[in-house]
């Protein structure tokens, strides 16, 4: 069997997959605590991820009804960008600052300017660091917590930290490293000179983890951890990667022609490319893929993070919220949301906040507030898809994953807003499944009997016909009008937001 782990923002998920068929035999999860501040601070305790890993692992093993000694390899997926600075004993020197942390936006502005603006960043890195990238967090730590900064012995990402817990080695891979801001995404190498600009006291040779190639192992599970978890002593840990990179594998998005949309805490839209994909404005991130190649991607900061906040505030269950968005009319009765509760990355508005407009006594209802949140979050993803379209990426279908994808109403909204058919995989936990597939790929290579990754994906990724949604022509027509209304509201409140994508359907 193979184990896939995904350390996300809200929880850690685990999937146990069969060795031959890669069928998911058991799943488990355990929640995390998010610590927030009004200044954009978003942090977590990395040790909580380890506890959640062990709980999710135990649940998945129990649900699969197998002995843990059946596990041959483990793959780890993790939320991108988050800084985990550890000391010489591998203990965190400060809580992890997450991908959705915008407290370091001023530091990020300074770094981009120092690198020669967006054009200079694209020339040096192939990406433009955004608020939330790792590099600005290091500069922030150096300024505000110098004692913790001085104790830093390695700069890790969440999946790196879990791999360290499992193997005792400090490794990473190109996909996750792409979001640090000190990695050349075209050449797939560290840029120690860029790191030295923000952390001159740190030795890059010491603090940067070793890069592991796609399909290669990060190491073996340590003896004491194997005993603790009931594993065999020879369990391989694959390279792992960022959650989007693992979701690409877990949705079969490893060849041109497929586009994945994730309705998670954040929203992402990404596709495979055989060559670097550099957008002039830098809004499409030229990330590396964890299977080889590249993964042009856009990220919005508020999807289920926004819908969950609204549901919790209105004291609604997930089922209540789903019934509300189904009950409300298309266009939410004229209500438009800018659900930027965590700021926004695309368009780049790190200091933005959430707002609702168009409210009247007649449309001010719970159902319209809920649907406006969902529709507007989807408009943000539509804009991201338009950016990919402008680079020549023309999807025949969207493979939809994440918590929001469980809603039939939301799936139909995505199809209608984008005017692209939507399909859904049987296994919705795409990042955890992708990690399990990568673990299988790595283990079979070690055993000398490798199947191609494309073969493994075709075996593991099954699309559920019950989740398919075809755009409804009348809805598509209405949503063109409501999407324009959303763009106008955005321009009025944030004139600095530059909306360059023109779409194309």
Pick from 439, 496, 504: which is nearest to 215 by CA?
Answer: 439
The question of whether 234 is a catalytic residue gets the answer no
Pick from 166, 152, 490, 468: which is nearest to 337 by CA?
Answer: 490
CA distance 316 to 325: 12
Q: Are 152 and 202 in contact, with CB atoms under 8 Å apart? A: yes
Q: Are 269 and 283 in contact, with CB atoms under 8 Å apart? A: no
Q: Concatenated DSSP letters for 222-263? A: PHHHHHHHT--TT-EEE--EEHHHHHHHHTT--STT-EEEEE
Torsion of CA 181, 271, 444, 167, to 10 degrees: 30
| Active-site entry in 101, 243, 386, 416 | 243
User: Coil, helix or strand for 459?
Assistant: helix
CA distance 6 to 443: 19
Q: Are 399 and 411 in contact, with CB atoms under 8 Å apart? A: no
Token look-up 């949309």 returns 261
User: Coil, helix or strand for 269?
Assistant: strand
Peptide bond preceding 424 in cis form (omega within 30 of 0)? no
Distances in whole angstroms, Cα of residue 250 to Cα of each of 24, 75, 236, 298, 305: 12, 12, 19, 18, 22
CA distance 76 to 139: 27
* Positions marked catalytic: 243
């Amino acid at each position: 069997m193979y184990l896939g782990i995904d350390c996300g923002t809200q929880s850690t998920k685990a999937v146990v997959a069969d060795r031959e068929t890669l069928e998911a035999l058991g799943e488990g999860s355990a929640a995390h605590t998010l610590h927030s501040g009004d200044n954009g601070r978003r942090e977590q305790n990395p040790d909580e991820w380890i506890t959640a890993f062990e709980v999710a692992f135990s649940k998945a093993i129990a649900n699969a009804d197998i002995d843990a000694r059946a596990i041959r390899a483990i793959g780890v997926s993790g939320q991108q960008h988050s800084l985990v600075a550890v000391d010489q004993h591998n203990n965190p020197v400060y809580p992890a600052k997450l991908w959705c942390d915008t407290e370091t936006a001023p530091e990020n502005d300074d770094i981009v300017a120092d690198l020669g603006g967006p054009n200079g960043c694209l020339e040096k890195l192939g990406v433009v660091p955004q608020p939330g990238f790792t590099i600005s967090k290091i500069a922030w730590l150096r300024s505000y917590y110098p004692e913790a900064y001085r104790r830093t012995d390695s700069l890790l990402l969440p999946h790196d930290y879990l791999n360290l817990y499992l193997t005792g080695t400090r490794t990473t891979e190109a996909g996750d490293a792409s979001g640090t801001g000190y990695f050349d995404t075209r050449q797939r190498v560290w840029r120690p000179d860029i790191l030295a600009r923000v952390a001159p006291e740190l030795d890059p040779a010491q603090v940067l983890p070793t890069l592991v190639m796609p399909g290669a192992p990060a190491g073996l599970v340590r003896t004491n951890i194997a005993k603790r978890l009931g594993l065999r002593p020879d369990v391989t840990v694959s390279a792992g990667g960022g959650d989007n990179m693992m979701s690409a594998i877990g949705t079969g998005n490893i060849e041109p022609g497929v586009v994945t949309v994730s309705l998670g805490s954040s929203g992402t839209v990404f596709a495979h490319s055989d060559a670097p994909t550099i957008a002039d404005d830098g809004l499409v991130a030229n990330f590396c893929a964890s299977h080889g190649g590249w993964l042009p991607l856009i990220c919005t900061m508020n999807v289920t993070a926004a819908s969950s906040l609204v549901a919790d505030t209105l004291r609604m269950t997930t089922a209540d919220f789903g019934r509300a968005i189904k009950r409300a009319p298309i266009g939410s009765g004229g209500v438009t949301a800018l659900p930027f509760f965590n700021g926004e990355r695309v368009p780049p508005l790190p200091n933005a906040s959430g707002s609702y407009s168009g409210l009247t006594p007649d449309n001010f209802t719970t159902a319209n507030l809920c649907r406006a949140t969902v529709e507007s979050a989807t408009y943000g993803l539509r804009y991201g898809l338009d950016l990919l379209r402008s680079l020549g990426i023309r999807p025949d279908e969207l493979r939809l994953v994440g918590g929001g994808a469980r809603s039939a109403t939301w799936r139909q909204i995505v199809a209608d807003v984008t005017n692209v058919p939507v399909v859904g995989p049987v296994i919705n936990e795409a990042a955890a499944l992708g990690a399990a597939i990568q673990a299988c790929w790595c283990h079979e290579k070690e055993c000398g009997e490798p199947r191609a990754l494309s073969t493994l994906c075709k075996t593991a990724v099954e699309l559920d016909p019950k989740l398919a949604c075809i755009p409804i022509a009348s809805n598509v027509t209405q949503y063109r009008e409501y999407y324009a209304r959303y763009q106008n509201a955005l321009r009025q409140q944030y004139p600095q937001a530059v909306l360059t994508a023109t779409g194309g359907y």
